[in-house]
A and B are shown apart, each in its own frame.
Chain A
Amino acid sequence: MTDVAAEAETGFAIHPMDQFIVSRWFCHDDAATVINECTANIKWYEITNVTVWIALTVLAIIALMVFGSRGRAIIPSRIQSVGEMLYGFIYKMVEDVTGHEGVKYFPYVMTLFLFILFANLLGLIPMSFTTTSHVAVTVTLALLVFLGVTILGLVKNGIGFLGMFWVSSAPLPLRPVLAIIEVISYFVRPVSHSIRLAGNLMAGHAVMKVFAGFASMAVISPVAVGAVTAIYGLELLVAVVQAYVFTILTCVYLKDAVGGAHH
């Protein structure tokens, strides 16, 4: 990490990457450096802004689902409609992509979708913290999907799961080459799966802060404020689309495991 204070003098009044700093909750340090009393040597049990916002995400999901399913009216209230809509949307997606075999794993996919969606949306609240912009958070989700799918595939199909790498529709001399490529692309999955989510969120929020930095220059501040507003709208779209993309890719990977070796 470079010294933020030194860069602040030459460039922006606010550093676009400052919003991603993990620091202790209930801690204040006036030092303008990235590594200060609040951020140095954080132990795993200490409560940081990441912990707090993940907890808020989970609480928000629980609140939506508890209040949404409390009434169970035939004519649903607004909150019940939202819950039903989310449920139906993901259920249909799992059924469409993975088929009847995959519906068993719907609860996990639903949990993933809701967690990412709510983390993304809560991260858009000004002054909040976007937990999904950290690779450490998304790589956990992606690795769980990767390990889960691999183990599930091996358990369900046995050694036949490895037939996925042997493209039987290709000409025989090409198959070893394709097998290598397939194996590499299989192991890159968790990397691209996690980096896509974290990268999109991080890029969007950094761009927003870059334009917010321009707002301190009097001449272009109206343009900058307009740009921040426009990008906020775009980020709202990105937050939902990335949650959707993460979930649908989980379903696609799941299909490989439950659908057997026919790739």
Chain B
Amino acid sequence: MEAEVAQLALMGKYIGAGLAAIGLGGAGIGVGNIAGNFLAGALRNPSAAPSQTANLFVGIAFAEALGIFSFLIALLLMFAV
């Protein structure tokens, strides 16, 4: 019984880590959205593009941070719990 409970807990841990990794997909969508829209805007008005690269990176960083949080949860589940 004891061993089965441990196995079940292990299963839950790995499934949870896998589920947490889904969050990174959202970050991927967000970063792609920002980069794609930046490119679309840059092609319409190339002269304004260089002044906006800082905003591009800040936007990407904010979008990415939330994905990294879910990655962190996955890592914690895998190695710390």
Contacts and interface: CB of A to CB of B under 8 A. Distances in A.
Contact of B79 (A2, A241, A244, A248): A2
B54 interface: yes
Contacts of A97: 54
A93 B69 contact: no
Interface string B30-64: 00000000000000000000000010011011101
B57 A244 contact: yes
A249 B79 contact: no
In the A-B complex, list the 10 residue pairs whose CB atoms are closest, starting with the nearest.
A199-B68, A192-B65, A245-B61, A196-B65, A196-B68, A245-B57, A199-B71, A195-B68, A199-B72, A248-B54
Nearest to B64: A196
Interface in A1-44: 1-2, 17
A195 B57 contact: no
B68 A241 contact: no
B75 interface: yes
Interface of B: 54, 57-58, 60-62, 64-66, 68-69, 71-72, 75, 79-80
B52 to A, nearest CB: 11
13 contacts: A1-B79, A1-B80, A195-B65, A195-B72, A196-B68, A199-B68, A199-B71, A199-B72, A200-B64, A245-B58, A248-B61, A249-B58, A252-B58
B71 A249 contact: no
A223 interface: no
Contacts of B58: 245, 248-249, 252
B38 to A, nearest CB: 14
A202 B65 contact: no
Interface string A92-104: 0100110000000
A203 interface: yes
Interface in A181-231: 192, 195-196, 199-200, 202-203
Secondary structure type dominating chain A contacts: helix
A241 B53 CA distance: 12
A2 B58 CA distance: 37
B71 A248 contact: no
A44 B43 CA distance: 53
Interface in A225-252: 241, 244-245, 248-249, 252
A141 to B, nearest CB: 15
A96 B66 CA distance: 26
A248 B71 CA distance: 23
A203 B62 CA distance: 17
Interface in A90-147: 93, 96-97
A196 B72 contact: no
Contacts of B64: 196, 200
Given A2-B79, A195-B65, A196-B65, A96 B71 contact: no
A249 B54 CA distance: 10
A199 B80 CA distance: 15
A49 to B, nearest CB: 19
